[in-house]
């Protein structure tokens, strides 16, 4: 079994979070973390369940029965992606993603406090306001910039980076969902790098997908 310890330098990732990976090997189950990170095109992130918030400090990579999200190698340091298989119809998954009142249910960053404004169901160009907490309380206004019914939705705020969800139907009741943090069009690149936002968002997209799977498959 491998334990990934996340040690917090300050209160939140955007205010100086440092993620430190430490390897602990069980005598009966030797796992080479260096090989897992270095020789593979992706990293399987396991055990990212609802109670495993970043602020709690650790995530356990457990056995094969644990829910997992697959971290993808995008080829672009400014795009952080992960994917997961969800046993639910595409329409059901998309309905949650298109409802800002439900975003808190699946938020892997634990920063969303509440939906403040906007339509109950999003569409292209729709705006929605959110109450957030990341070290301090603040509010943001998001705009939907990509939208394809039951297949694709993405939004951005004033910083111009995007949170994107893509749904690929495998069967009527099973889908592959990919979430990406896309910072390529951000007007705040120096700030994102200074605050180590990219490593943090890589963890966040994986956690969010695991939560999305749990919510979708629980009903």
Q: Is 111 exposed, middle or buried (0-12, 13-18, 19+ CB in 10 A)?
A: buried
Q: Which CATH class is domain 2-217?
A: alpha beta
Query: What is the full DSSP assignment across the chain?
Result: -EEEE---SSSSGGGT---------BTTB---HHHHHHTSSEEEEE---TT--GGG-EEEE--TTS-EEEEE--S-TTEEEEEEEESS-HHHHHHHHT-GGGHHHH-TTS-EEEEEES-SS--TT-EEEEEEEESEEEEEEEEEEEEETTTEEEEE-TT--EEEEEEEEEETTEEEEEEEEE-TT-S-HHHHHHTTHHHHHHHHHHHHHHHHHHHHHT-
Evaluate if residue 88 carries a pLDDT over 70: yes
pLDDT in tens, 94-107: 999 999 999 999 99
Higher pLDDT, 200 or 60: 200
Q: Supply the pLDDT for residue 62.
A: 30
pLDDT in tens, 169-182: 999 999 999 999 99
Higher pLDDT, 162 or 39: 162
Q: Which two tokens stand for residue 176?
A: 């592959």
When pLDDT is averaged across residues 155-182 and rounded to a whole number, the result is 94
State phi, psi for 128 to the nearest 5 degrees: -145, 135
């Amino acid at each position: 079994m491998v334990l990934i310890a996340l040690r917090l330098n300050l209160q939140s990732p955007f205010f100086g979070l440092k993620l430190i990976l430490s390897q602990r090997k069980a005598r009966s189950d030797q796992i080479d973390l260096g090989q897992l990170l270095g020789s593979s095109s992706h990293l399987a992130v396991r055990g990212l369940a609802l109670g495993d918030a970043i602020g709690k400090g650790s995530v356990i990579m457990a056995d094969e029965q644990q829910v997992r999200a697959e971290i993808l190698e995008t080829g672009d340091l400014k795009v952080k992606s992960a994917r997961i298989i969800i046993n639910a119809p595409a329409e059901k998954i998309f309905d949650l993603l298109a409802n800002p009142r439900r975003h808190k249910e699946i938020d892997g960053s634990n920063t969303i406090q509440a939906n403040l404004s906007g339509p109950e169901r999003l569409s292209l160009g729709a705006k929605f306001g959110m109450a957030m907490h990341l070290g301090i309380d603040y509010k943001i206004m998001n705009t939907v910039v990509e939208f394809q019914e039951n297949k694709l939705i993405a939004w951005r705020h004033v910083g111009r980076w995007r949170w994107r969800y893509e749904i690929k139907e495998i069967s009527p009741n099973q889908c592959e969902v990919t979430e990406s943090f896309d910072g390529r069009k951000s007007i705040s690149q120096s700030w994102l790098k200074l605050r180590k936002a990219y490593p943090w968002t890589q963890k966040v997209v994986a956690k969010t997908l695991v939560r999305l799977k749990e919510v979708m498959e629980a009903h």
